[in-house]
């Protein structure tokens, strides 16, 4: 018969799951996911408005955010796939 011990760390770093510490990297990853979701939501609203004005079908997918730093400068790189943004003709 085994004994199971669950530990919840409570300290200055905080916790988000029993037995695991909430590291700065964990917080950065969550911040990146939240930023990417907000970015996608905003672009989707712009795409919907533009679709209504132009009559062209549009969608935004695969938004991502990458948070990095160089020396003392923080860098945020945002990207997304926007389908239907450019007008096309039959041959282009």
- pLDDT for position 88: 76
pTM: 0.63
Closest C-alpha among 14, 8, 18, 40 to residue 27: 14
Q: What is the pLDDT of residues 62-90, one digit of tens each?
A: 999 888 888 888 888 999 999 988 877 77
Structural tokens at position 84:
């239907």
User: Once rounded to an integer, what is the mean pLDDT over residues 15-37?
Assistant: 77
Query: What percentage of residues in the chain have a pLDDT greater than 90?
Result: 34
Q: How many helices (H) and strands (E) does the chain have?
A: 1, 4
For residues 22 and 8, the answer to whether their CB atoms sit within 8 Å is no
User: Once rounded to an integer, what is the mean pLDDT over residues 27-46?
Assistant: 90
Percent helix, strand, coil in the chain, to 5, is 35, 30, 35
- For residue 14, is pLDDT > 60? no
Distance, in Å, from the CA atom of 60 to the CA atom of 48, rounded to the nearest integer, reads: 9
């Amino acid at each position: 018969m085994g004994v199971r011990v669950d530990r919840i760390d409570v300290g200055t770093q905080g916790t988000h799951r029993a037995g695991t510490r909430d590291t700065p990297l964990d917080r950065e990853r969550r911040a990146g996911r939240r930023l990417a979701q907000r970015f996608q939501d905003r672009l989707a609203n712009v795409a919907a408005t533009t679709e209504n004005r132009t009559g062209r079908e549009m969608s935004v997918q695969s938004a991502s955010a990458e948070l990095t730093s160089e020396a003392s400068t923080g860098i945020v790189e945002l990207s997304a796939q926007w389908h239907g943004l450019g007008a096309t003709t039959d041959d282009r």
